[in-house]
Amino acid sequence: MTRFEYLKNPVDIYRRSFAEIRAEADLGRVPENLEPVAVRLIHACGMTDIVNDLNWGGDVTKAGRRALAAGATVLVDAEMVAHGIIRSRLSAGNEVICTLGHIKEANGTTRSAAAVDLWRERLAGAVVAIGNAPTALFRLLEIIADGGSRPAVILGFPVGFVGAAESKEALIAAAGEIPYLTLRGRRGGSALAAAAVNALAADAAEENNPGDNII
Span 138-161, mean pLDDT?
97
CATH number of 69's domain: 3.40.50.10230
pLDDT of residue 170: 98
Domain interval for residue 88: 10-201
Asked if the structure places residue 211 within a domain, the reply is: no
Q: pLDDT exceeding 70 applies to what percent of the chain?
A: 94
Q: How many domains does the chain have?
A: 1
Active site residues: 43
| Res. 212: pLDDT tops 80 | no
pLDDT of residue 151: 98
Asked if the structure places residue 208 within a domain, the reply is: no
Give the pLDDT band of residue 203 (cuts 50, 70, 90): low
Asked if the structure places residue 4 within a domain, the reply is: no
Span 58-81, mean pLDDT?
96
Span 26-55, mean pLDDT?
95
Span 146-174, mean pLDDT?
97
Give the pLDDT band of residue 208 (cuts 50, 70, 90): very low
Specify the range with the lowest mean pLDDT, choosing from 73-77, 129-133, 170-174, 203-207.
Answer: 203-207
The DSSP bridge pattern shows strands 96-98 and 127-130 to be unpaired
pLDDT of residue 202: 84
Q: Are 190 and 80 in contact (CB under 8 A)?
A: yes
Q: Are 191 and 131 in contact (CB under 8 A)?
A: yes
Of 184 and 14, the structure prediction assigns the larger pLDDT to 184
pLDDT of residue 206: 53
Summarised one tens digit per residue, pLDDT across range 106-136 is 888 999 999 999 999 999 999 999 999 999 9
Asked if the structure places residue 88 within a domain, the reply is: yes
Q: How many CA atoms lie within 13 A of 3 on its CB side?
A: 4
Span 39-48, mean pLDDT?
95
Environment class of residue 170 by beta-carbon count within 10 Å: exposed (0-12), middle (13-18) or buried (19+)?
buried
